[in-house]
Amino acid sequence: MSAQTFAELTGPAATTFDEVLRRNPGEPEFHQAVHEVLESLAAALTRRPELADAALLERLVEPERQVLFRVPWTDDSGRVRVNRGFRVEFNGALGPYKGGLRFHPSVNLSVVKFLGFEQIFKNALTGLGIGGGKGGSDFDPKGHSDAEVMRFCQSFMTELYRHLGEHTDVPAGDIGVGGREIGYLFGQYRRITNRYESGVLTGKGLGWGGSQVRTEATGYGCVYFLAEMLRVRGDDLLDRRAVVSGSGNVSIFAIEKARELGAQVVAASDSAGYIVDDKGIDLDLLKEIKLERRGRIAEYADRVPHARYVSGGSVWEVPCDVALPCATQNELSGTAAAHLVKHGLMAVAEGANMPCTPDAVRVFRAAGVPFAPGKAANAGGVATSALEMAQNAARTSWSFADTDARLGAIMRDIHATCLETAAEHGHEGDYVLGANVAGFLRVAEAMTAFGVV
């Protein structure tokens, strides 16, 4: 990650951030996530100065528990490999820790802490009883056989299981952790504990405790939020040109829902490059390539003559009306943001966690482009995970339509909460401030009620 320029903080926020930098050296992603929240809290602390008492900010930025562990496993040739595992249980004031596991070579403590910190506020915004946590490993499932992935997941869970429980910590999937990995992880948890504790992991298969819409939820939820942003401004997605970065679950189902609401999605990407299809992405083909065969997006252009593939570069070179960054952190730079604004960008909703750099966010806000941060716009995934937990607790399941309706209602409620909170604090229309302050207030009030713990 390149160095970011942070705006100056004042008062308790500045003191807290200085301490974060001192205690967490060499963790730029975590620094960025903390600064983004603290930058918004001046308005809340001016109205509620007592929330700066009892070192509440200092406690908020310090994880309740950080677990790092060795993950040894054997590949198909019999060679022993060693990866590193992480679980950061950041804040449990509102409920059991909840947040995904990411398996990717870029995973380190800074990345996991940034994701866990974001998760605190995202989960609070859902209004459901879940705290914030995150975890993962620097293991990359790509290029490994099913048997190798299984052995890695079993070794990973053999250490992690002792920290989990449906009332303690409930992981889900993230980048590199889909239904296959969740199945192997749950199987090992059940084997070790001798308990069929469905609520200990979410993102499970539908035949063994999973929820309808969970696979689609983050992408669908992001588009529901985007549609609300446009609706309150008297607009909609009909015939709008959209660009979605990434081509995993979040991206593909954001494309699916955007198309359902009338948008024309013309570009998507993976780590090697991006495709442009001015007639609109063929979603069935994209699903076959990326979800069924785990292939490269370049294959799309090989099979669609009028589409073009660009190796490397940035998908944000493609002009659009609405942008849905759904790939990874810090993928959309200030330069890319200025290019999009110049070409008529109307709105941005983050489907990934912190995909826009601070410079990009400043460009969007300065240009008056409505911008939805990930902790609000991509909360649909964790919201549906909490719905899965509720179904597991009741030993029941809901239909796709029922679960999708609940997801839509939650996303509309999060949108309304962000707008109302921003207006109450003198920053009408500022989704970043609204999301940060609303999430902070819910967590802070619970922490205050519990005393110094």
Give the three-state DSSP class for 169.
Answer: strand
Quote the CA–CA distance of 123 and 97 in Å, as a whole number.
Answer: 10
* 204 within 8 A of 183, measured Cβ to Cβ: yes
Name all contacts of 400-403 with Cβ < 8 Å and 24+ positions apart: 400/212, 400/213, 402/212, 403/211, 403/212, 403/213
Quote the CA–CA distance of 250 and 159 in Å, as a whole number.
Answer: 29
- Show Cβ contacts of residue 121 under 8 Å, excluding neighbours closer than 6 positions: 37, 132, 375, 435, 436, 439, 440, 443
- C-alpha torsion 355→356→358→359, nearest 10: 150
- C-alpha torsion 203→219→432→438, nearest 10: -40
Q: Using the structure block, give the residue that is written with the tokens 């669609």.
A: 304
Annotated active-site residue 375? The verdict is: no
Question: Which has the closest alpha carbon to 359: 388, 338, 373?
Answer: 338
Q: Using the structure block, give the residue that is written with the tokens 């979603």.
A: 283
* 439 within 8 A of 418, measured Cβ to Cβ: no
Q: 395: left (phi > 0), else alpha (psi -120 to 50), else beta?
A: left
Quote the CA–CA distance of 373 and 379 in Å, as a whole number.
Answer: 10
* 58 within 8 A of 29, measured Cβ to Cβ: no
Crossing angle of helices 28-38 and 358-366, rounded to 10°: 30
Q: Kindly list the distances between the CA atom of residue 167 and the CA atoms of 101, 163, 201, in Å, as whole numbers in the listed order.
A: 18, 11, 11
Quote the CA–CA distance of 77 and 51 in Å, as a whole number.
Answer: 57
- Choose, from 113, 122, 134, 375, the residue flagged as catalytic: 134
Q: How far is CA 119 from the centre of its chain?
A: 8
- C-alpha torsion 56→57→62→65, nearest 10: 40
Quote the CA–CA distance of 288 and 151 in Å, as a whole number.
Answer: 27
Quote the CA–CA distance of 83 and 410 in Å, as a whole number.
Answer: 37
- Provide the pairing of β-strand 264-270 with 241-244: parallel
Which residues have a catalytic role annotated? 134
